[in-house]
Homo-oligomer: A and B are copies of this chain.
Amino acid sequence: MRIAVDAMGGDNAPKAIVEGVMLAKKELPSIEFQLFGKEEEIKQYVTDMENVTIIHTDVKIESDDEPVKAVRRKKDASMMLAAKAVKDGEADAVFSAGNTGALLAAGLLVVGRIPQIERPGLMTTLPTFGKNNQGFDFMDLGANAENKPEHLVEYAVMGTHYAKQVRGITNPRVGLLNNGEEETKGNELTKSTYQLLKNEPSINFIGNVEARELLSGVADVVVTDGFTGNAVLKTIEGTALGIMSILKESILDSGIKGKMGAVLLKDALKNVKGSLDYSAYGGAVLFGLKAPVVKTHGSTGPEAVAYTIKQIHTMLETNVTDGLVSYYAHKDETSK
């Protein structure tokens, strides 16, 4: 199992990336890592060279580079070389914490789509609260600004494969994000998508789900168009950050009594923060490509990098991409 790592992507690269790889290596010593980037800088953080190769390049894609231009002009960037390693059969998956748009472009142009999947999408597992806190797979998070109903069916099929194989959920419940539960609710896109999902035999479609219910675990897989998915994901993040910050402010403003309370409540508050942290589920998968291409937050630390490496390891071990490829190949066969 060989993972191509863009060691230069993200705000804390290469330090956080290489330290994360070293953390992951302890648990998963059999993975071969190919680290792409500035050799001298990367070397400083490599504490164990076994199964590690450094492929030097001085070029990197910056977080504010225009994605398509960057992909065309910076062919020797660490991210591009990592994607090329997968294309050339030298690696099995790509990891990056760099420019999301550029990684999407590199994934589509270099790694390539599974032929029958028209629109790969960005998927992540988000946390759910309460009794059923196994999280849910949410896509598209913004790989596409416009989607057709057929794309959302692709997401439902991909999300089902992921939930089953990578997260071990039997018969995952698939929901369509909509502005009401009834079949007749929604815009043109969701109304048409509802009919297609209802008639898709390979998934367990439970109907429309509303945004208010997402975090309570109403479904295991939730599909939506990339524009809405992006807005919902960022709203969850913004609301959670906002609440945690006013909670902190209120505690600081509440005098000695409040501060004592906060000390006593430390574990409970930590617990809340932990419930909100979805980095333990790994990064965002650009799903529908010939190999796993996985992205984690640019501001990520070593632990989140290690979680994402583990996620990629599970994706490779369970052959989720091959599963999708043969599902679509078989579908083509039977429809002939």
Contact = CB atoms under 8 A, between A and B. Distances in A.
Interface of A: 129-130, 142, 145-146, 177, 179, 185-188, 190, 210-216, 224, 226-228, 230-247, 250-251, 253-254, 257-258, 260-269, 271-272, 275-276
Contacts of A264: 257-258, 260-261, 264
A242 B216 CA distance: 7
B230 A235 contact: no
24 contacts: A129-B245, A129-B246, A130-B246, A142-B179, A187-B227, A212-B237, A212-B241, A215-B238, A224-B231, A228-B228, A232-B232, A235-B235, A236-B239, A240-B243, A243-B272, A247-B269, A247-B272, A253-B268, A254-B265, A254-B267, A254-B271, A258-B268, A262-B265, A262-B268
Contacts of A254: 265, 267-268, 271
A239 B257 CA distance: 28
A207 to B, nearest CB: 16
A211 B231 contact: yes
Contacts of A239: 215, 235-236, 239-240, 243
Contacts of A261: 260-266, 268
A129 B260 CA distance: 24
A230 B253 CA distance: 34
A243 B243 contact: yes
A129 B242 contact: yes
- Report the 8 A-B pairs with minimum CB-CB distance, sorted nearest first: A261-B264, A261-B265, A250-B268, A211-B234, A212-B238, A239-B239, A212-B234, A235-B235
Contacts of A231: 177, 179, 211, 224, 228, 231-232, 235
Nearest to A184: B66
Nearest to A241: B212
Nearest to A247: B272
